[in-house]
Amino acid sequence: MLTHWARNGQRRLYQWRRQYWPQSLQLPCRCWLCGDSSQHLLCDACARDLPLNEAPCPRCALPRTQGSECPECLRRPPQFARSLAPYCYAPPLAGLINRWKHQGDQRLLPYLVPQLVAHLQTAYVHDDWPQCLLPVPIARARRLVRGFNQTEQLARRLGRQLQLPWRADLLTRRGGHSQQGLSRRERLRNLRQQFAVRGPLALEHVALIDDVMTTGATCATLAKILQDAGVKRVDIWMIARTP
């Protein structure tokens, strides 16, 4: 039988765990999506339902372009060389990513990072790996609200698994005006005023790390800034691409 002190100690430990142990670090016993019993974040059936990015544009990763460059990239070639995203930003994956970004639930990363790593390893079989990974910076106010930068978390895990260095101090972002209601040219000008690079850089080939690419304007702006600082090639790595 447990002594009074042992029972009291167990109760205190349980109370401490409930109060201080992050919910995001507790292993799930049920699938996040369907609720069925699962030893992993997602059961096998729900994992198969995640929207794969099939036959994407090799330049911007826009889905379903039959593997050829999309009309927008042909009309206005972006500054980056290639973009890689294993998934489309669509349900049910979009909800999981938002849960990570906006609720701070970290359990998604150990599940999705290996999928991205496998995608990258296939893509770079006949290509040179970048010298350094650079997470896309977020505004200071947004980081204070969230408590973290999701692209830094992603870059850290990718760097560890791929044995590549990553740097979060080379790109900075200031607060800027809203993009709403601006033309494409005005949006790009607004973005250029928000970002800065601590250069010149002694790097020829880097990969920008983002969670989701929507229009590609942010990554195109950062690629141009990096090239102006001496970088010759910029690739984009992300979890998902907006269709």
Q: Does 239 or 39 have the greater pLDDT score?
A: 239
At 10 the three-state DSSP class reads helix
Average of per-residue pLDDT across 137-154: 86
* Average pLDDT taken over every residue of the chain: 85
Length of the chain: 243
pTM, whole model, 2 decimals?
Answer: 0.83
* Residue 10 · residue 2 · CB < 8 Å: yes
- Domain range summary for the chain, segments of one domain joined by +: 47-241
CA distances from 117 to 32, 132, 135, 153, 186 (A): 22, 15, 16, 14, 35
11 falls in which pLDDT band (50, 70, 90)?
Answer: very low
Q: In terms of DSSP bridges, do strands 87-88 and 132-135 run parallel, antiparallel, or are they unpaired?
A: unpaired
* Residue 53 in this model has a pLDDT that exceeds 60: yes
> What CATH number has the domain spanning 47-241?
3.40.50
* Residue 46 in this model has a pLDDT that exceeds 70: yes
